[in-house]
Amino acid sequence: MKKNIKKINWFAQHMHRAMHEIKVKLKYCDLVVNVLDARCIRATMNTELLKLTKNTPLVHIALKSSLADADFKAVPSISYLDIAQCDFCARFKSIIMEKLHDKIAKLKTKGLKKPQLTIFVVGLPNVGKSSLINRLSRSHKAIVQNTPGVTRNLQLIKISDCVAIYDTPGILYNTLDHIKVSYILATVGCINPAILPIDKIVEYNCNFYFKFYEKEIREYFNFKLKYEFEKFIDFICQKYFLISHGNKLDLRRAYMMLFKLFKDSTITKVSYDREEFEE
């Protein structure tokens, strides 16, 4: 996959502030939970952010696993969960306690019956950090919206008598070197799709699906022609009667319809990690 010549910068002021605050408060942190999107592990793995946590125990949690291609849930160091699962809290607690077992045992030998532990939840915008915390605390203390950049400051939330979690703002890379990574992040909601041409986001996804999920996308739309992006969009316009004034095909509506299907993984469960990226 070729690198994009023009890098995309989307590192808002609140992200700079949050990076600094995380760095300062990490010395009081017992564990870092890095939240990923199970559909695109590599694209949502912010290595720049993780450099700050190198001296702190770390676990990777991939959310939205019900939307992800099961064939690509194969990274041993990552736990794949879905907030909607009834056993989510129990599984999450088990993962955390296993990682903190030695530290808790050490604190108890010092006479602490209920050690007070602090966990940082980090990740890209809109990967599900606040939803995870709300599920654990069985409340709606953390701000949740299905748009990037909602949490702007660190929020400390108690989820039990001995565990408190910092919900941190979503932090993107300083620059996005690969334009196709930008298309993926826009599709799953980690960056605002409005900063990119919608036709290019949709074209990337169409090409990706016809390369890796051809059977599924053909069956979904009952598309039997040879695939070419422009012809496929024309087919969508005609199939769904997307016609504008002057009896012209309404390409914009076709793009928006397809974008929503890709965003919600409606056509099929998907893994964008199927595609290799150049270093």
Helix (H, G, I), strand (E, B), or coil: what is residue 16?
Answer: helix
- Segment 170-184 mean pLDDT: 84
Q: Which fold has domain 13-167?
A: Rossmann fold (3.40.50)
According to the model, what pLDDT value does residue 130 have? 82
Answer for the pair 159, 137: CB distance below 8 angstroms, yes or no.
yes
- Segment 37-64 mean pLDDT: 90
Average per-residue pLDDT in the chain?
85
Single-letter code of the amino acid located at 213: Y
Which residue matches tokens 């996959």?
A: 1
Instruction: Specify binding-site residues.
Output: 126-131, 170
Instruction: Specify binding-site residues for GTP.
Output: 126-131, 170
Q: What is the pLDDT of residues 135-155, one digit of tens each?
A: 887 754 544 444 444 444 567
User: pTM for the full model?
Assistant: 0.86
Start-end of CATH 1.10.1580.10 domains in the chain = 197-272
DSSP result, 86-139: TTHHHHHHHHHHHHHHHHHHHHHHTT-SS--EEEEEEESTTSSHHHHHHHHHTS
Start-end of CATH 3.40.50.300 domains in the chain = 13-167
Q: Which fold has domain 197-272?
A: Conserved Hypothetical Protein Ylqf; Chain: A; domain 2 (1.10.1580)
